[in-house]
Structures are given as structure tokens and as C-alpha cells.
């Protein structure tokens, strides 16, 4: 069986002050993604930053980053429409007009660390519908059990298709579910039968819950968005060690790694 490895090199929260190896500029992001692609990542989950390193939904920066990545490697690009807590929903949603192969869809508003992550129901429904029109496959970010129910309601309304639904089970955000094996199992058991999924475990339980996700039949995500450290007290010297670690885990579990072509089939991306 093959698993899809996603690299998440940047994220919305951390800065170079937290880890100097965090890629924030288009060239840096493209270089990190190309190295991850060479190591075996099939999908790149992309957040954009402005020249000061602040989260942005600037379509010019997004276009440039996507082009630089495409010049360097065949990885499948997934734009984050989460973007960052201070960026309004409108420009976040407009990123799908660039027609990445995939984009995230965050179904519910929530507290997020010390901030607020605003995903108003009417806007989420509009974004889901637009993604469907544009053939941009949503990755559904669920941070709590009710978020899964919200996604299932969108499916029942015909705003999401289930060919299959693709979920990220996000554990460890303050405001969402804690990063525990029990919470992971609870959600995995409730997913639709044909769902494709991965664990996003934030912070120190990243390794254990990524391993658990792989053992349970999920895909895996790795990168500085989710873990700034490779082990206690040791900052990761880039994204590559985290991606290589996830790939080692998969190999140790006797799983093969899907390249972009196989990942396209597993995720059933619209052509
Ligand atoms: N960093 C994740 C926990 C998204 O990209 O759409 C949340 C996130 C969602 O960044
Ligand atoms: Zn993200």
C-alpha cells in the first residue's frame, strides 16, 4: 500500500525568530518544497508570507510561489485558504481562483491559540461551492468532532463530493481537540468509509501521532508548520529532516511512498 506524504513547510504562526530555517519567501519555500519532493513528498501545503514574513493572501505572491515550485518539481500544490488568523476570509477564499490542484477548507470558526480563526458558515458554503466549480479539491481541516459533522452536512447539501472526501485530523491546536491517541481514534472511527485522511499533530506529539496515523491507514504530513523541533530542545534544521523522518516511519511500517501520479489517483484529484 502507498501513502501520500505532504510537506507543510511554513504555516501561519511561526516566524524565523522561532526557527531560523522557516522558509517564508517564495524562493525559500520553493527550495524547501523541491528538496521535500526529491525525498518523496507528493503534496505541498503552502502558506504565503509578505516581505516582512507576515501571513498574506496576496495573489501575486501566491502565483509566483506556485510558479517557482512548478519550475523545480512535479509536486501537487495545495494552497492553504487558512492563510493566517489576521487575514480576512474574502482574500483567503480568492486564492482558489489561482486553481491549485487542492486547497484547504476550514469548516468552522474556533479559538486558535491566543487568537480567533474566523470561518463564517455562509462564506464556507460559498467557498466550497466555488472550489467545486473550479475543480479545486478541498482538504477538509477538522479540529474537533463537530467539524466533521459540519463537513458531512456540506456533503449532504451537495457542496462537497465524496469521491472520496479528504480530511486532515488536526490535533493539538489550543481551541481544538487535544493531541491524544483517544481523540484520533474517535475521529478516525467516525470518518465516512471511503475517506482519505491524514493526521496533523501540532507540537511535541507530532511524531507519535503521525506514526499512529500511518499505522491506522492514514497518510502523513510533515514540516515546520506542525513541528519546529525534531526532538525535545533541538530545533529542526529545516523541513527535510521532518519529511525524511515521516518517510522512514512509513518504510518501517512496510508502506510505500506515492509519487505525485499515484497520489493524484489516491486523492482522486479532478483533472
Ligand atoms: N496550521 C494548521 C493547524 C490551513 O492551512 O488551512 C491550520 C491551518 C489550516 O493552517
Ligand atoms: Zn496550513
Q: Whose CA is nearest to atom 10 of ligand 1?
A: 82
In short, whether 255's Cβ falls inside 6 Å of ligand 1 is no
Which segments in the chain show pLDDT lower than 50?
A: none
Q: Which residues are CB-neighbours of 270 under 8 A, at least 6 positions away?
A: 135, 136, 137
| Residues lying with their CB under 5 A of ligand 2, a single-atom ion | 80
CA distances from 248 to 4, 6, 8, 61, 242 (A): 13, 14, 17, 33, 10
Distance separating alpha carbons of residues 83 and 77, to the nearest angstrom: 15
Residue that has been written with the C-alpha cell 485530523 in this structure: 169
Of 95, 193, 103, the C-alpha closest to 152 is: 193
Residue range of the domain that includes 189:
2-267
Residue that has been written with the C-alpha cell 493524484 in this structure: 264
Query: Model-level pTM greater than 0.80?
Result: yes
Alpha helix segments (H runs only) across 219-259 = 240-252
Would you state the pLDDT for residue 189? 98
6 alpha carbon to ligand 1 midpoint, in Å?
Answer: 13
Would you state the pLDDT for residue 271? 82
Q: Whose CA is nearest to atom 4 of ligand 1?
A: 82
Of 42, 71, 83, the C-alpha closest to 222 is: 42
230 alpha carbon to ligand 2 midpoint, in Å?
Answer: 19
In short, whether 82's Cβ falls inside 6 Å of ligand 1 is yes
Would you state the pLDDT for residue 264? 97
Residue that has been written with the C-alpha cell 458531512 in this structure: 152
- Please identify, by atom number, the ligand 1 atom nearest to the C-alpha of residue 105: 6
Domain CATH for 46: 3.20.20.70
ipTM of the complex: 0.95
In short, whether 139's Cβ falls inside 6 Å of ligand 1 is no
How many folded domains does the chain comprise? 1
In short, whether 11's Cβ falls inside 6 Å of ligand 1 is yes
CA Rg value for the chain? 17
Distance separating alpha carbons of residues 75 and 37, to the nearest angstrom: 6
- Please identify, by atom number, the ligand 1 atom nearest to the C-alpha of residue 200: 3
Share the mean pLDDT of the chain: 98
Nearest ligand atom owner, CA of 102: 1
Query: Is residue 5 a contact partner of residue 41, using CB atoms and an 8 Å limit?
Result: yes
Amino acid at each position: 500500500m502507498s501513502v501520500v506524504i505532504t510537506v507543510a513547510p511554513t504555516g501561519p504562526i511561526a516566524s524565523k525568530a522561532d526557527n531560523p530555517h522557516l522558509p517564508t519567501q517564495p524562493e525559500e519555500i520553493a527550495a524547501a518544497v523541491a528538496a521535500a519532493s526529491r525525498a518523496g513528498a507528493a503534496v505541498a501545503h503552502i502558506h504565503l508570507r509578505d516581505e516582512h514574513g507576515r501571513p498574506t493572501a496576496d495573489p501575486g505572491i501566491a502565483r509566483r510561489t506556485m510558479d517557482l515550485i512548478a519550475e523545480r518539481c512535479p509536486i501537487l500544490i495545495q494552497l492553504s485558504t487558512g492563510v493566517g488568523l489576521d487575514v480576512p476570509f474574502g482574500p483567503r477564499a480568492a486564492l482558489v481562483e489561482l486553481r491549485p490542484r487542492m486547497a484547504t477548507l476550514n469548516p468552522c470558526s474556533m479559538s486558535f491559540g491566543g487568537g480567533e480563526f474566523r470561518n463564517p458558515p455562509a462564506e464556507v458554503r460559498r467557498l466550497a461551492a466555488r472550489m467545486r466549480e473550479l475543480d479545486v479539491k478541498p482538504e477538509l481541516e477538522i479540529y474537533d468532532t463537530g467539524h466533521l459533522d459540519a463537513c458531512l452536512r456540506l456533503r449532504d447539501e451537495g457542496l462537497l463530493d465524496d469521491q472520496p472526501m479528504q480530511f486532515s485530523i488536526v490535533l493539538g491546536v489550543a481551541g481544538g481537540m487535544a493531541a491524544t491517541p483517544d481523540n484520533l481514534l474517535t475521529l478516525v472511527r467516525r470518518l465516512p468509509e471511503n475517506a482519505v485522511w491524514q493526521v496533523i499533530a501540532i507540537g511535541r506529539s507530532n511524531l507519535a501521532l503521525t506514526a499512529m496515523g500511518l499505522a491506522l491507514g492514514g497518510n502523513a504530513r510533515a514540516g515546520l508548520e506542525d513541528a519546529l523541533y525534531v526532538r525535545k530542545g533541538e530545533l529542526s534544521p529545516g523541513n527535510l529532516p521532518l519529511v525524511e523522518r515521516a518517510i522512514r516511519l512509513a518504510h518501517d511500517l512496510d508502506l510505500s511512498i506515492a509519487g505525485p501520479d499515484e497520489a493524484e489517483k489516491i486523492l482522486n484529484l479532478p483533472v
